[in-house]
Amino acid sequence: MSRQTNHKLLRLSFSQLIRRIIFAILVFMLLGFFQVVIWIVPFRVYARRLNENYIKPGNLNTRAAGGYSRFIGRMVAKIARITPWPSKCLVQALTVKFLLRRFKIANEMFIGVAIDDKQKLSAHAWINVFDITVVGGTNSAEQFKVIKVFRDSYGNQE
């Protein structure tokens, strides 16, 4: 009797595996690009691009958008753990926002601040799609006071 395995990668076809590898490489490069942007460019400069609301007709239904956004968030979080540079929350949020814009998925990027027990200010960034936190932690809205929201909305999505 053969041993059964439930590993997801073994259930993928060869073309699906190649697409995921290529997507992982793209995510790795985007994380590096956005880390360089954060190091070099002041926040107010690239915040203007984040503030542009892209209102275009979307052709993606909400069920597929939820699945794609969760996949993108998981992939970015996994790849961010293995980068040789620090891929913190803002880098991950910028990468996810870029990819969600490419897939025309409506999203909200939140920037929040909090004061910890030692009276030290900390900032955090996270992305929501349809009330689901895609990247940045599920309880971020309760822990941090939101100071800025960057929304992308598309024609047929709410």
Q: Is residue 4 part of a domain?
A: no
Q: Distance of CA 17 to CAs 10, 62, 92, 115, 136, Å?
A: 9, 25, 23, 43, 26
Q: How is the chain split among helix, strand and coil, in percent rounded to 5?
A: 50, 20, 30
Report yes or no on whether pTM surpasses 0.85: no
Q: Are 145 and 126 in contact (CB under 8 A)?
A: no
2 is a domain residue: no
Asked if residue 157 is part of any domain, the answer here is: no
Domain count, the chain: 1
Tally: H helices and E strands in the chain: 5, 4
For the chain, 158 residues long, give each residue's pLDDT as a single digit of tens.
445 545 665 677 889 899 999 999 999 999 999 999 999 999 888 888 887 766 555 555 667 778 889 999 999 999 999 999 999 999 999 999 999 988 888 889 999 999 888 889 999 999 998 888 999 887 888 889 999 999 887 765 44
Parent domain of 30: 10-152
